Amino acid sequence: AQQVHRPRRALLATVRCSVDASKQVQDGAATAVAAEAPASRKDCFGVFCTTYDLKAEDKTRSWKKLVNVAVSGAAGMISNHLLFKLASGEVFGQDQPIALKLLGSERSFQALEGVAMELEDSLYPLLREVSIGIDPYEVFEDVDWALLIGAKPRGPGMERAALLDINGQIFADQGKALNAVASQNVKVLVVGNPCNTNALICLKNAPNIPAKNFHALTRLDENRAKCQLALKAGVFYDKVSNVTIWGNHSTTQVPDFLNAKIDGKPVKEVIKDTKWLEEEFTMTVQKRGGVLIQKWGRSSAASTAVSIADAIKSLVTPTPEGDWFSTGVYTTGNPYGIAEDIVFSMPCRSKGDGDYELATDVMMDDFLWERIKKSEAELLAEKKCVAHLTGEGNAFCDLPEDTMLPGEV
């Protein structure tokens, strides 16, 4: 067996509620775990140090098996919105206990402790364990879900090739860690930019995990497209369905109005303004993130967290009949004719088991296909730029026109 190289063990602290009836006092009250020297145990504090038996209570006896969820960039703004959604049961359900494993850096370790304190103070019944650390080989151990948010933002004057290399190194390392210690059926959602190519790097460094289990977040783009269609049609969001984002999470992304529906009718039957659909709608969705940065002074955080929650829920709950959702997935074997061996956003359906199938009942016209091929070309160029991180030889960067929005998530 190949020997796994593990970096030095780094700071790890644990905030935990464990299930251990043997440590109960005779009257059934919960007892605190005795303090130990920091060097000999995983540190814990507050209510999460309490030991009690979930099976002893009627309310918790029927709960599902604990799900382990790792979140990188856990001290960041996106995570600050997301973690409380996860802990509340909003994402995985009200009968699903959860363990949160939070990955940060040495610089953010104190902030991670603050995050754990806020989670503690929120008194979420479903939150059974919180761990914080800076070593992915520790934090990713046995995780069922890995939400990879942490990445370096693109700074002023930074070339796109440099961003690909810097963040690519992060996701290569995290892929190796997931490969070594995570559940072999772990589901991985990559949020850190450029998320499509980072997801490709991650899966190439995790050969023990099915490539199909890796996703790049394009749900925020889908949500933005639904908003614009609803606004133009004068309806609420829930009337809009079958919206697909094709391609890269960049300004080459393709918001698909050909297959989208409003109140069950094709969008083009409801919105007759073809010029608006082809030009203003498409451009508004593609550039929404950049406009938000100009208005807000920073990239989207709350809406990104909502879209991460939506992306997970789309995989753990059955897709409504006839509908689909967008997610960036591995293209090998796709039915559309899109280049293989890249991560490309496409329409998917799920039975609610964490898996998915590509939707095949989609229409294609020249306008849509031409734009899909443009996004495909961008992703193929990005792939060549990170060949040294995917085991495919020397990198060669010949990127098309610059489409990545500075600081965009």
Q: Are strands 187-190 and 214-216 parallel, antiparallel or unpaired?
A: parallel
List, in order of start, the domains of the chain with CATH numbers.
Answer: 65-216 (3.40.50.720), 218-389 (3.90.110.10)
Q: What is the rounded CA–CA span in Å between residue 96 and residue 65? A: 7
Yes or no: say if 362 and 259 are a contact pair by the CB < 8 Å rule.
yes
Q: What is the rounded CA–CA span in Å between residue 150 and residue 74? A: 7
Secondary structure letter of residue 5 according to DSSP: P
Nearest CA to 195 out of 393, 344, 377 is that of 344
pTM: 0.89
Looking at the DSSP bridge assignments, the partners of residue 145 are 69, 187
Q: How many CB atoms lie within 10 A of CB 353?
A: 10
Q: What is the rounded CA–CA span in Å between residue 296 and residue 274? A: 31
Secondary structure (3-state) at 133: strand
Q: How many CB atoms lie within 10 A of CB 292?
A: 18
Amino acid found at 338: I
Helix segments in 182-218, DSSP class H: 195-204
Amino acid found at 87: A
| Whether residue 125 has a cis bond before it, omega within 30° of 0 | no
- CA distances to 244, 345, 399 from 405, rounded to whole Å, are 21, 18, 14
Secondary structure (3-state) at 145: strand
The torsion angles phi and psi of 13, rounded to 5 degrees, stand at -125, 145
- CA distances to 188, 249, 291 from 298, rounded to whole Å, are 26, 18, 10
Tokens describing residue 292 = 């938000």
Yes or no: say if 229 and 357 are a contact pair by the CB < 8 Å rule.
no
Tokens describing residue 319 = 């897709």
Looking at the DSSP bridge assignments, the partners of residue 244 are 256
pLDDT of residue 298: 83
Looking at the DSSP bridge assignments, the partners of residue 102 are 71, 132
Yes or no: say if 126 and 10 are a contact pair by the CB < 8 Å rule.
no
pLDDT of residue 24: 33
Secondary structure letter of residue 240 according to DSSP: E
DSSP string for 194-257: SHHHHHHHHHHT-TTS-GGGEEE--HHHHHHHHHHHHHHHT--GGGEE--EEEB-SSTT-EEE-
- Which is catalytic among the residues 5, 81, 215, 249? 249
- CA distances to 29, 45, 129, 201, 239 from 190, rounded to whole Å, are 42, 30, 23, 10, 29
Distance of CA 218 to the CA centre of its chain: 9
Q: What is the rounded CA–CA span in Å between residue 5 and residue 180? A: 9
Q: What is the pLDDT along the chain (409 residues), one digit of tens a residue?
A: 444 444 444 456 555 443 333 333 333 333 333 333 333 224 444 566 666 577 777 788 899 999 999 999 999 999 999 999 999 999 999 999 999 999 999 999 999 999 999 999 999 999 999 999 999 999 999 999 999 999 998 776 677 788 899 999 999 999 999 999 999 999 999 999 999 999 999 999 999 999 999 999 999 999 999 999 999 999 999 999 999 999 999 999 999 999 999 999 999 999 999 999 999 999 999 999 888 888 988 889 999 999 999 999 999 999 999 999 999 999 999 999 999 999 999 999 999 999 999 999 999 999 999 999 999 999 999 999 999 999 998 988 888 776 665 445 4
Q: What is the rounded CA–CA span in Å between residue 11 and residue 132? A: 8
Q: Is-catalytic flag, 215? A: no
Q: What is the rounded CA–CA span in Å between residue 202 and residue 330? A: 11
Looking at the DSSP bridge assignments, the partners of residue 27 are none
Yes or no: say if 149 and 72 are a contact pair by the CB < 8 Å rule.
yes
